[in-house]
Amino acid sequence: AMERDRNKALLLELQRAAGTGNDRCADCGEPDPVWASYKLGIFICLYCSGIHRNLPGITRVKSLRLDFWENDLIEFMKNHGNLCAKAKYEAKVPPYYYIPHSNDCLVLKEQWIRAKYEREEFVATRVCQDPCAAGSREGFLWMLGPGRRQFHKRQFFLSAREGVMKYYGKESRGPKAVISMESLNAMFQDIKIGHAHGLQITYSTDGQARNLFVYHESGKEIVDWFNAIRAARYHYLRTAFPNVPEHELIPRITRNFVKEGYMEKTGPKHKEAFKERWFSLDSQERNLMYFKDPLDEFARGQIYIGRRDEGYEVRPGLPVGVRVRKRKPVITLVTPGREFVFMCDNDGKQKEWIDALDGVISQ
């Protein structure tokens, strides 16, 4: 028992040691990881440890607090650690490759872990792929058809060199859409699409944002598509903005919505009936879009969100002189042309939306 306690204390000391990188999960960056792979010599979080468990030939995990650690394993951990593993397994991560965070979906984290340790895609001996070549891909994805009823197998084609993504209908006489890299975006939406590998592709057509919802049965395949789109976007941005530094380009390759969810909305006179709408807030485009259904192809409308010094503001409560029957928390979004009134389900949702909208107004 004394040895067990001493070893546990040594491990926790190692995990907290400054300059080792051990105080965050080696795979997703979650702070204070309480698991470790004693085959790779890394400290990882509970969720990533679950993924490591599925790769027994490559990695073996133990809890820092619950399991017994032999002296030789502690010695191994001491001689390795997160920075050491990063230097080996992440030596050649391409700039466009998406490195998942702790709040990202499971398929992104799983494929990142498999790419690093199982396939060793980023070790120093690997040749870094040219983004133009990496951004070329063709194959089939399951795409949600009109009416949101079922998914159909559709052929997709991506070319960084041509700067486009295309997809074909059932009778492929020609592409159903030719999407320019300039407006293309992709984000994982597993919950919204109802599939663990669900991807939302958004692009502009005739000045309107259009959504495509796709998935692939293979986790590797869908993450490869996502990173191919990112490689093609990176190639486009590098070419279109040659003088913009790398650290400014990378966050603009793809983006997630800063917030999504249901609110109720009334019309411009504030006397119309409140209707439930699904809202998506895109901070990069400074756009608040609303849809009748989360899986609609096109938005019912969109509200541009400018800066505070341009007369934009968000606050709790109703505009002066406006009354509503329902007793629910309300938000007023002030724009130079109109005051928008939204109703939230509860105080928590109201605060989340105010904070998210205020974040865009302040940036």
pLDDT reading at 216 higher than 90: yes
Query: pTM of this prediction?
Result: 0.93
pLDDT reading at 277 higher than 80: yes
pLDDT reading at 37 higher than 90: yes
Most confident of the ranges 11-15, 66-70, 181-185: 181-185
By percentage, how much of the chain surpasses pLDDT 70? 99
> In 140-179, which positions are buried (b, 16+ CB within 10 angstroms) versus exposed (e)?
ebbbbeeeeeebeebbbbbbbeebbbbbbeeeeeebeeeb
In the three-class reduction of DSSP (H, G, I as helix; E, B as strand; rest coil), residue 4 is classed as helix
Q: What is the mean pLDDT of residues 322-332?
A: 87
pLDDT reading at 173 higher than 90: no
The total of structural domains in the chain comes to 3
Domain final position from 96, 118, 140: 118
Domain check: are 144 and 212 in the same one?
yes
What are residue 290's phi and psi, to 5 degrees? -130, 145
Domain check: are 246 and 266 in the same one?
no
Domain check: are 60 and 173 in the same one?
no
pLDDT reading at 171 higher than 90: no
Q: Is residue 124 part of a domain?
A: no
Please state, in angstroms and as integers, the Cα–Cα distance from residue 12 to each residue in 27, 37, 81, 184, following that order: 18, 14, 13, 45
What integer pLDDT is reported at residue 80 of this predicted model? 95
Domain check: are 286 and 200 in the same one?
no
Edge-to-edge, what's the strand order for the sheet holding 301-304? Answer: 301-304, 287-291, 275-282, 259-265, 339-343, 330-334, 313-316
Q: Is residue 68 part of a domain?
A: yes
Q: What is the mean pLDDT of residues 245-268?
A: 95
Q: What span, in angstroms and rounded, lies between the C-alpha atoms of 81 and 23?
A: 10
Domain check: are 279 and 348 in the same one?
yes
Q: Is residue 95 part of a domain?
A: yes
Domain check: are 111 and 172 in the same one?
no
Domain check: are 243 and 263 in the same one?
no
Residue bearing tokens 């809890």: 63
What integer pLDDT is reported at residue 7 of this predicted model? 86
Residues in CB range of 127: below 8 A, 6 or more apart? none
Domain final position from 229, 252, 275: 252
Query: pLDDT tens-digit profile of 66-125?
Result: 999 999 999 999 999 999 999 999 999 999 999 999 999 999 999 999 999 999 999 998
Domain check: are 305 and 347 in the same one?
yes
Which CATH number characterizes residue 48's domain? 1.10.220.150
What integer pLDDT is reported at residue 251 of this predicted model? 94
Domain check: are 113 and 199 in the same one?
no
Which CATH number characterizes residue 321's domain? 2.30.29.30
Residue 100 DSSP label: -
pLDDT reading at 42 higher than 80: yes
**DSSP assignment of 200-232, as one string?**
EEEEEETTEEEEEEEE-S-HHHHHHHHHHHHHH
In the three-class reduction of DSSP (H, G, I as helix; E, B as strand; rest coil), residue 359 is classed as helix
Domain final position from 252, 274, 307: 252
Q: Is residue 218 part of a domain?
A: yes
What integer pLDDT is reported at residue 126 of this predicted model? 84
Q: What is the mean pLDDT of residues 193-204?
A: 96
* Average pLDDT of the chain to the nearest whole number: 94
Domain check: are 238 and 220 in the same one?
yes
Domain check: are 209 and 318 in the same one?
no
Domain check: are 234 and 304 in the same one?
no
**Residue at 169: amino acid letter:** G
Q: What span, in angstroms and rounded, lies between the C-alpha atoms of 198 and 201?
A: 10
Domain region containing 202:
131-252
